[in-house]
Amino acid sequence: MLDETHFRSFPWLAWRFYGRWQHMRFSFDPQFDLPLGIDIGTSKLRMTYARWTAAGASVEAVTSRDRDAECDEDWLSSMLYEMRADLGAKTRSCAMALGSHEATIDVLTLPHMSHRDRTAAANIEAQRRYADGRDRLVRLFPTRNKERFLLATTPYSHVALRKQLAAKAGLRLTVLSIDGLTWSRFESSVLSVVDIGMTSTRIHSYDSGAPKVALYPFGGRNVTIEMARALGIDERSAEQRKRILGSSGTGEHLIEGLVAWIVASIEKGEPHSLPSVMLVGNGSRLPEIRRLLSDKLSQRRWLTGCNQLERSRYPKDIRRAAFSDWALSIALASTGSGAI
């Protein structure tokens, strides 16, 4: 006979069987959408749509848009809205990254204590190190050393701007990371990541798991300006010529100076059992830079792809040619850890 206690237990039994059904459903069909990886560069927007499969994260599609450095938030949000539609993605979750100029990463040594005490100690340390410490978002990340943590901070205003931009584009910001943390979790075998952007070059390296950034004030636009001066053409025509023919022998002294700095920065880093280097950024597609780096750092293993992109339906030649340009957006779509 069913009494009152049986009726009371029915909702709990229903939820219990529902939970088991969900577990079985994901066990047999583990595919689901990952957050859209959004790379907001100085001259380009990139968005990657990836799904989780039984083999791991797999890139479904990537799209990009050229942009001006002076474009406003409304233009950016409308472009992001269009890009998501182009990808055919149903998910509205997205992942973005803060640059090294927007967030800080420091090493903090703490004795064994509870999570609550560690969080309080991290906030106190942030207020001691930064004048605006009370206005910063503070997060701790563990390292291989149990007593060493990564102290990541960024002003709340930067977080609010990213959330506002995502909301205007009809998206939901679920992962906000930092460049250095994103690279370290994207490819664990990499010793250094060389990011050649439009106006500057950054080398992300790692010291006992702690990201470090070195900056060189040279980017792809410097080559474009030198080409325009040497050939007597406007900057727009020089950029188009550079994309098709490379630097065409102009600006060689500038490129050699950049390569010399990259080589010196990588060589003075600590040795690694897998001395791999990842070359990313739109400026890294110049064949002269790739050739010089391969000659001067021939003992290094240069990564030209990733498993996430190799599982995609893109042809091999496109995967090889576009990886350096798409790398950050793929990394953001593939890794959710390290989010602040």
Q: Mind listing the pLDDT tens digit for each residue in 202-228?
A: 998 877 667 888 899 988 888 888 888
Give how far the C-alpha of residue 332 lies from the chain's centroid of Cα atoms, to the nearest Å.
5
pLDDT at 55 over 80: yes
Burial class (CB in 10 A: 0-12, 13-18, 19+), 59: buried
State the pLDDT confidence band at 254, using cuts at 50, 70 and 90. confident
State the pLDDT confidence band at 39, using cuts at 50, 70 and 90. very high
pTM of the model: 0.82
- Which residue type, as a one-letter code, is found at position 226? E
Q: Which of 28-32, 59-63, 315-319 has the lowest mean pLDDT?
A: 28-32
pLDDT greater at residue 299 or residue 310: 310
Cα separation of 71 and 277, whole Å?
33
- Note whether 97 and 166 are within 8 A (CB): no
Q: Which two tokens stand for residue 158?
A: 């930067």
pLDDT at 244 over 80: no
Q: What is the pLDDT of residue 45?
A: 94
Q: Which two tokens stand for residue 244?
A: 């098709």
Residues 6+ apart with CB under 8 A from 213: 100, 179, 180, 202, 203, 204
Give how far the C-alpha of residue 256 lies from the chain's centroid of Cα atoms, to the nearest Å.
27
Q: 151 has which bridge partners?
A: 106, 140
pLDDT greater at residue 335 or residue 12: 335
Q: What is the pLDDT of residue 1?
A: 41
Mean pLDDT (whole number) for 185-202: 82
Domains in the chain, ordered, with CATH?
A: 30-187+306-340 (3.30.420.380), 188-304 (3.30.420.40)
Q: What is the CA radius of gyration of the chain?
A: 23
Q: What is the pLDDT of residue 164?
A: 96
**DSSP-based three-state secondary structure for 95:** strand
pLDDT at 85 over 70: yes
pLDDT, tens digit (0-9, with 9 covering 90-100), for 110-139: 998 998 999 999 999 999 999 988 999 999
pLDDT at 77 over 80: yes
State the pLDDT confidence band at 7, using cuts at 50, 70 and 90. very low
**DSSP-based three-state secondary structure for 34:** coil
Q: Which of 26, 46, 28 is nearest to 37 (CA)?
A: 46
State the pLDDT confidence band at 233, using cuts at 50, 70 and 90. confident
Burial class (CB in 10 A: 0-12, 13-18, 19+), 263: middle
Beta strands in 112-200 (DSSP E): 136-142, 148-155, 172-178, 190-196
